[in-house]
Amino acid sequence: MENLWIAFVFIYSFLKGTREGMKKAALTKSSSTEILFFYTLTGLILTMPFSKSAFTLQPIYIFYTFLKAAVVCTAWLFAFAALKNISVSLYGIMDMSRMIFSTLLGVMVLGEDFTVQKAAGVILVIIGLILVNLKKNTSSKGMTLPVLTAALLNCLLNAVSGTMDKVLMQHMESAQLQFWFMFFMTLIYGVIIIIRKEQISVKSIKTNYWIPLMSLSLVIGDRFLFEANAASESQVTLMTVIKQSSVIFTVIIGWICFKEKHIVYKLMCTLIVLSGIFIALL
């Protein structure tokens, strides 16, 4: 059972991949800030029954969790800004660049080994990204410099968050991290709404059933990911490689739900990345 953490990361990846399509669908009914606030608020409510130990956590680790929440909040704002302008499948493939950032952080911050297999995985991701951008008609409409920058900053900040998960889970339980993470996320997005003086459309929120589905997916997925990080034998660099399997679900959802084109070409790009996962796990 020592490699159970690998299965946990695959479950997280499946839920993450399907969630990107939900985000795109949710944006047709509500603004990104509305979605993010109620998304995290619902997630907080779902975690409460399992969070009795959260208030026994040392204050310094609560503060570190606040920093993690601030990083992820910023990343998600960039993610929604990018997702509003490009297709789900192209966003999913661009999102794989976080693997490069996570690998660098795992090696430089956590001192993990950068083996030949891991190097091959990173190279394959880069090849996949280059190929999808060389294709002129791969639903790249809207891919301007600001959108590209937003997508890459989202990847960088998520990589920072992933590295923090590994460190924090050595000092707390998954339920503790999840509760304070969702609490601070809800608080930050609430403050953003107040500062921006944004109007909340209660009617659209009530009918936007994608929000509770996204929240449930997030809570379940994060719990599996935190448990994987708690395993002493797990490595951020390997987890990052496995997480890239989420892209195949993102691409398929883009094809089935949003009728996106060039699915064969996009799947070929994702297969290049998936072959990197196999090599890295050898």
Structurally, how many domains does the chain consist of?
1
pLDDT by residue (tens digit) across 251-280? 777 777 767 677 788 778 778 877 877 787
Give the DSSP H or E segment for 136. none
Which residues in the chain show pLDDT less than 70? 1-2, 87-96, 129-130, 132-143, 258, 260, 281-282
Count, in order, helices (H) and strands (E) of the chain.
Answer: 13, 0
For residues 139 and 249, give the distance between their C-alpha atoms in angstroms, rounded to a whole number.
17
Confirm if 66 and 180 have CB atoms less than 8 A apart: yes
Q: According to the model, what pLDDT value does residue 151 have?
A: 83
**What is the domain extent for residue 117?**
4-280
C-alpha span between 117 and 214 (Å, rounded): 34
Burial environment of residue 112 by CB neighbours within 10 A (0 to 12, 13 to 18, 19 or more): middle
Structure tokens at 10: 């695959």
What DSSP designation does 232 have?
Answer: T
Q: Among all chains, which residue has been given the structure tokens 């991290």? A: 177
* pLDDT in the model for residue 136: 45
pTM (two decimals): 0.79
